[in-house]
Amino acid sequence: MLHSAMSCGACPVSSSKQTLYDQYVPILQRALSSAVAYLQGMEDRPVRPEAAAVDALESLRGPLQDAPESPEVILEQLDRVGAPATVAKNSGRYFGFVNGGCLPAAMGAAWLVSAWDQNASFWVQSPVAAELEATALEWTRELLGLPRGTGGAVVTGATMANFSALAAARHALFARLGWDVENDGLCGAPELRVVAGEEAHPSLSKALGLLGLGRSRVVRVPVDGQGRMRADALPHLDSRTILCLQAGNVNTGAFDPALELIPAARKAGAWVHVDGAFGMWAAASPASRHLTAGFDQADSWATDGHKWPNSGYDCGLALVRNPEELRAAMSIDAPYLVLGARREPADYTPEFSRRARGVELWAALRQLGRSGMADLVERTIGHARRFAEALRAAGFEILNEVVINQVLVSFGSKEKTLRTIARIQQDGTCWCGSTVWQGRTAMRISVSSWVTTTEDVERSVAAMLKAARE
């Protein structure tokens, strides 16, 4: 025993084994130089990929060949054919969807995480992954102003965060009714009711569908012109109800009136869940914190690391006031899982094996610090306001109150707006998508990246105005 223990720790690795590890070296060097060239070329390329680059992806298709291929050839191909077919999402002029950039510390951490190749399911498989994700969750809890003792899970995005938090809600409400939903399922179960606003994010419906709570069984609450749930239109709530609120509408950035809604819901014994994919991060800045007032009174929250905190793709967080409810919904037992008393990531996540994405969030939050996170939120909100002001001054209609980093602009009729968006995308200076907001076609501008500068905003405004006048 002693001998084998010593031979592990103290003997040099055999030279043939070393040769296997040596194979990583030129590949990682190649990846580094390609990545650096890619990032340094970001300013000189259109934000959208060229049509020819997308067509060239054809050369990467075809059947898998018989013989092995050299990693160098593969990296060369990815760099030559793959990179040009990317969207320059990490540029300062990508305003599509709500997509954050990737901070340098997060990107570097992602590379290390790949080199470590950790499985973040159990502490024993990766102490570093387990510890750093717990720390990142705790930092997030604090930045979002959520109650002490809140715990949660690091997942792929807000969709899975909604799913996970709602699984905790489902568990808790059924448990109160004496029904064991994890073991006995939904057939024959008492009924739960889900209440959500008419402008809830579609990923919430998807999560409810996956949970067997149904996409279309949701009771929809009418909203105002900004997409905020109308407190006066709230239906009857009881202890069988999950009320889903939103902090940050994906189109307008608006927040449901938590201060009015949550106390009533809690009094009725309902579970309150908050989809705060990006909006909850407004709590990280003293200038916008007021928008999140009252949301801390909820039972669960979903948010994203990859949106406002710029931790890179992918990372979402499910946070639950009583983490035992999440654990009850997610944990599994097996004889080979001899675990200690520590927090085990897989007890809280829908997944078993998973990559250590919590490390990247930890690194992103470390790079920012509290003041950096506040600054990122304020800066991007400032950019959004500048967009709104410049486009309004040019005679175009801004459809939303720009409360955070989202702007909706109409360039006139539906046809004119869609034509303008197509021209903006084709021009390539920046990238914005379209939406239909309460019946009106609009362009969405979401400023979510740490890279975006005032100059990026002015260049983009100029490109938008040029496209609108053509």
Ligand X SMILES: *Cc1c(COP(=O)(O)O)cnc(C)c1O
> CA-to-CA distance for 213 and 167, rounded, in angstroms?
10
Q: Residue with the closest Cβ to ligand X?
A: 157
- Examine residue 316 and tell whether it contacts ligand X (CB under 6 A): yes
Q: Which CB atom, from 248 or from 294, has the smaller least distance to ligand X?
A: 248
E strands, 248-383, are 271-275, 300-304, 316-320
| Binder of ligand X out of 129, 158, 328, 376 (CB under 6 A) | 158
Which uninterrupted H or E stretch holds 153?
Answer: strand 151-155
* Backbone torsions φ then ψ of 300, nearest 5 degrees: -150, 160
Name which position in 134, 146, 242, 277 contacts ligand X (CB under 6 A): 277
Sorted by sequence, the CB contacts under 8 Å of residue 179 that are 6+ apart come out as 189, 190
Stretch that binds ligand X, among 43-51, 174-182, 242-250, 415-423 (CB under 6 A): 242-250
Residue nearer to ligand X on the CB measure, 89 or 392: 89
Q: Does position 98 bind ligand X by CB under 6 A?
A: yes
157 near ligand X (CB under 6 A): yes
Residue 275 touches ligand X, criterion: CB under 6 A: yes
Candidate ranges 154-162, 174-182, 391-399, 462-470; the one touching ligand X (CB under 6 A): 154-162
**Contacts by 9-13 with C-beta closer than 8 Å and gap 24+?**
none
State the sign of the Cα–Cα–Cα–Cα dihedral 212, 152, 295, 158. negative
Measured from the CB atom, the residue of 429 and 449 that comes closer to ligand X is: 449
Total residues at interface with ligand X (CB under 6 A): 14
Going through 207-352 in order, the beta strands assigned E by DSSP cover 219-221, 241-246, 271-275, 300-304, 316-320
Q: Least distance (Å) from ligand X to the CB of residue 400?
A: 14
Q: Is 122 in the site for ligand X (CB under 6 A)?
A: no
Smallest gap from residue 95 Cβ to ligand X (A): 14
Residue 447 DSSP class: -
Interface residue with ligand X, options 193, 201, 240, 357 (CB under 6 A): 201
Token representation of residue 341: 């008393």
Radius of gyration of the chain (CA): 24
> Of the listed pieces 39-47, 110-118, 275-283, 427-435, which binds ligand X according to CB under 6 A?
275-283
Which of 304, 344, 427, 456 touches ligand X by CB under 6 A? 304
Q: Is 379 helix (H, G, I), strand (E, B) or coil?
A: helix
Question: Which of 80-88, 103-111, 175-183, 273-281 is the region at the interface with ligand X (rule: CB under 6 A)?
Answer: 273-281
219-221 vs 406-410, strand pairing mode: unpaired
Q: How far is the CB of 209 from ligand X (least distance, A)?
A: 14
Q: Which is nearer to ligand X, 126 or 405 (CB)?
A: 405
Q: Report H helices in 268-356.
A: 323-330
- Is 400 one of the binding residues for ligand X (CB under 6 A)? no
Indicate which single residue of 122, 123, 271, 278 sits in contact with ligand X (rule: CB under 6 A): 278
Cα separation of 186 and 376, whole Å?
43
Which residues make beta-bridge pairs with 318? 153, 302
Q: Residue 331 and residue 341: Cα distance in Å, rounded?
A: 14
Number of other CB atoms surrounding residue 433 within 10 Å: 15
Which span (117-125, 246-254, 401-409, 451-459) binds ligand X, by CB under 6 A?
A: 246-254
Residues that bind ligand X (CB under 6 A): 98, 157-159, 201, 203, 246, 248, 250, 275, 277-278, 304, 316
